[in-house]
Structures are given as structure tokens and as C-alpha cells.
Amino acid sequence: MSDTIKVLGLVGSFRKAGYNGMALRAAIELTPPGMLIETHDYRDIPFYHGDLEDESGIPAPVKALGEKIRAADALLIVTPEYNTSLPGLLKNALDWVSREPQGSFAAKPVAVMGASPGSFGTVRAQQHLREVLRNVGAQTMQRPQVTITLAEQRFSADGRLTDEATRQHIGKLLVALGEWTMLLRK
């Protein structure tokens, strides 16, 4: 294994000016030494249903995401909260990849964070996401938690995270993910 920790960053919303995409870009900017974060656009994954899988097998976009997950040392998932849970787009991708026989999530270290314009943040979505990840065998960090509340006040008009306390929280999350990944390697 390389000394560089390779992290796959996934965002739960593909809105052009979405706060969670901005938060993932901030994490990339704040990546500590010895870590590399790359992203993957998975919006072309079809909606899961068993008949499609039975008729055609695992679709190519699902295989591509599964390969990216298996190649990464760890995952960083940044999710908004929709109706007190994670977005269907993200859940669908996780459901599909969990169907692969290679076990993409098995013992994979994962950190979760999210941004919301509300004052409660993405606490419930993160909780649901952690439950899903636990079920597929991922090793999800419980702390530190990064829930970016009142997101419109934390990002500039051009999408840069300007809130220093939030930047520090994300930095601490990434350091902890690096340490968690190294611990699980042993």
C-alpha cells in the first residue's frame, strides 16, 4: 500500500450551486498532507430494481463506481438532508453497489459530513447514512461530526467555504479519517 491515503469523495446532490458540492470542494482544498481526495460523478446510475439486474446484470456505471470505491483507501461522503434522510440519488447508488459480489464496502473506512441551509444541519441524514453503510460492511467514523448549518452564511457567492470554524472542523474530520484508515490497515 502507498503512504498516500486515497479517498474517494462522493456527494449526495449534483446541484450546480449545491452546498454539499461546495463542502466537498472545501474538503479537497483542506486535504492534509499524505491524503488525496478524488471525486466520482455517479448520476448516470439507473434506478435500482431487481428485474433490471436479472435481465442485464450490474450496469456499467455501477461497476465503475464499485471499482472506484474498491480502489480507494477510504470514503468521504457529503450528503444533504431531504425529508430527514439521505437523498434518493445517493441511496440508489449505495444500493446498487452493494449488489456487486466483490464487496466494495467491506471494512472500508468512511467519514460523513453534510451541509444544509437549516439550523439543524444534516444530523438525521448522516444517521441514516451511517445505518446503511454499517449494513453493507463499511467502517464508518462516528466522530468528529461535521454538520454545516445555515450553509448560506458559511459559503461565499463563488462557492468557497469562508467560515473559519467550519473549515477547522472539516480539517479535523480529514485528519481523523486518515488516522482511522491507518488504524484499520493494521
What is the reported pLDDT for 97? 94
Three cell numbers, residue 67: 471499482
Structure confidence by residue, pLDDT tens digits, 39-53: 999 999 999 988 988
Q: 9 with 39: CB under 8 angstroms? A: yes
Alpha-carbon dihedral sign for residues 90, 168, 143, 120: negative
For 82-98, what is each residue's pLDDT tens digit?
A: 989 999 999 999 999 99
Euclidean distance between CA atoms 124 and 81, whole angstroms: 7
Question: Mean per-residue pLDDT for 149-161?
Answer: 94
C-alpha cell belonging to residue 177? 479519517
Closest residue by Cα to residue 128 from 89, 102, 91: 91
CATH architecture assigned to 5-185:
3-Layer(aba) Sandwich (3.40)
- Going 121 to 143 to 131 to 63, the CA torsion angle's sign is positive
Domain extents in the chain: 5-185
pTM of the model: 0.94
Residue 126 burial (10 A CB sphere; 0-12, 13-18, 19+): buried
Task: Report which DSSP code applies to 36.
Answer: E
Q: Please check the confidence at residue 131 and state whether its pLDDT lies above 80.
A: yes
